[in-house]
Amino acid sequence: MRITNNTLINNMLRQLNSGLGRLGQYQEQLASGRRVLKPSDDPAGIVSISQLKTSLFENQQLLSNVDSAYSWLDSADTVLASVTSVMHRAKELTIYAATEVLSDSDRYAIQEEMKQLFDNVLQLANSTHSGRYLFGGQKTTTVPFTRESLDPNDPNFFNIVYQGGRSDDGTASQSLEINANSVLDLSLVQTKVNADGKVEDSLFMPILSTFRKIIADMEQGNVSDLSSVDIEQLESALDNVLSYRAVVGAKVNRVQMAKERLQELKINFNQLLSNAQDIDVAETIMQLKSEEYVYRTALAVGARIIQPSLVDFLK
């Protein structure tokens, strides 16, 4: 093949150009830390990159869901703990009131304290967590437990109406995703319809109705009921609360396990995403170095061969 000066120059320019192009590519990779910057960089890898990104976004959201679940259940448990201690006090008062030797003023004081305890439980039943009623099911904006009458002298003052979500139409539950497509029901609300056709929740209504009966028995001095039926009812309501606390514990357990799993997954996903889209810095720098060497050599060789011609040596 006959080689001309222009062949040399053109070849040199082309090689320098493609060398510079490869240098540019490594520079872009090193500067961004990414191996895949455009779909065409790795069309197959794009699929796994996208899937991993989706998983990471989902994971991030699920972790935040788990945290919300955790704090929600924590609040519920705190409320239930307070309810338990209120009930213990109520039990003490009931046993105290069941003795016949009390003076009227003592009996009055006990009655008043019992009413306070009733208010206490009612308040606890209506507790909120970040603006939502804890024990109202899906009706998070409606006060779940209200008095039938607001007049303290009205006999219905201690009658409580439940207005929260109901089990029978599915509005009692509060679903939250804690794993992909697996839902945890945060709500502790369970309701049934009683003989009068009224909806009752099975956590607070038994306590409140027991309290109402105790208050009535105290007012009427019904010592025999106070010492037998009322105490029994109180005991069974207390057991009920404890079983609810067990449920909360179980849910917290599930949430905690989910959280650990999600955190592990997060690390895995990040690792996999990094494998799929990030460069190996050491390797890329090595490649850059070797490319740089080739480029410099091409420059040096080019500079040597394109300069002289026969002209330089003719006199």
Taking CA atoms, 46 is separated from 20, 26, 39, 42, in Å, by 26, 19, 6, 6
Among 20, 27, 33, 64, binds another protein (CB under 8 A): 64
By C-beta, is 52 or 218 nearer to another protein? 52
Decide: 223 and 100 in contact? Cβ < 8 Å.
yes
Mask for 229-268, x = binds another protein (CB under 8 A): ----------------------------------------
Taking CA atoms, 190 is separated from 97, 136, 274, 282, in Å, by 32, 10, 46, 60
Check residue 171 for interaction with another protein (CB under 8 A): yes
Taking CA atoms, 210 is separated from 76, 90, 232, 266, in Å, by 22, 10, 10, 49
Among 12, 16, 25, 42, binds another protein (CB under 8 A): 42
DSSP state of 201: E
Check residue 43 for interaction with another protein (CB under 8 A): yes
Check residue 107 for interaction with another protein (CB under 8 A): no
Check residue 278 for interaction with another protein (CB under 8 A): no
DSSP state of 309: -
Check residue 307 for interaction with another protein (CB under 8 A): no
Check residue 288 for interaction with another protein (CB under 8 A): no
Instruction: Give how many residues touch another protein by CB under 8 A.
Output: 58
H helical segments located in 149-230: 204-220, 223-225
Helix (H) or strand (E) holding 81: helix 43-97
By C-beta, is 68 or 240 nearer to another protein? 68
Check residue 50 for interaction with another protein (CB under 8 A): yes
SS3 44: helix
SS3 146: strand
Which parts of this chain interact with another protein (CB under 8 A)? 1-7, 10-11, 14, 36-44, 46-47, 49-51, 53-54, 57-58, 60-61, 64-65, 68, 130-132, 136-141, 165, 169-171, 174-177, 180-181, 183, 277, 309-311, 314
